Amino acid sequence: MHLIRRGDPHLAVRTSERLTTVELHGELDLVLVQRVRPELDVLAREAPALTVDLRHVTFCDASGLGLLVRCAQRVQARGAEWRLVCDQPMVLRLVRLAALDEILRPSPPAPPPGSAGPPAPRTGRPGRLPV
């Protein structure tokens, strides 16, 4: 997979045979939506699997949500794989409040390779060390 920096500093695209990942940076508002919509429309139409990464988005408004919904619906309508990576509480809250969880299906970033993943749940009674 290789990173392709577009002319816009708010958009980076990584492509491979099976997956295209779009990283968005900055504020996902009407101005940015108008700048990146044409490219996202092409990717939503053609990518075998599309992941949109919002980890570097600092703000999202209704036009940003609209763009994400548009992409998700187009990708899913043609049977391709859609993934929205987001760990931004403000964006996740907006998705939840707008009742777009089922369409956008936000997910946390994958753990780095070689990591053990989330910690195992503790067993035993609280306040006591396991024997």
With tokens 């139409």, the residue in question is 45
The residue type at 41: D
Chain segment 22-77, per-residue pLDDT in tens: 999 999 999 999 999 999 999 999 999 999 999 999 999 999 999 999 999 999 99
Range of lowest pLDDT (26-30, 116-120, 122-126): 122-126
Strand pairing class (11-15; 20-28): antiparallel
* Torsion of Cα atoms, 93 then 107 then 37 then 26, to 10°: 60
User: How would CATH label the architecture of 2-107?
Assistant: 2-Layer Sandwich (3.30)
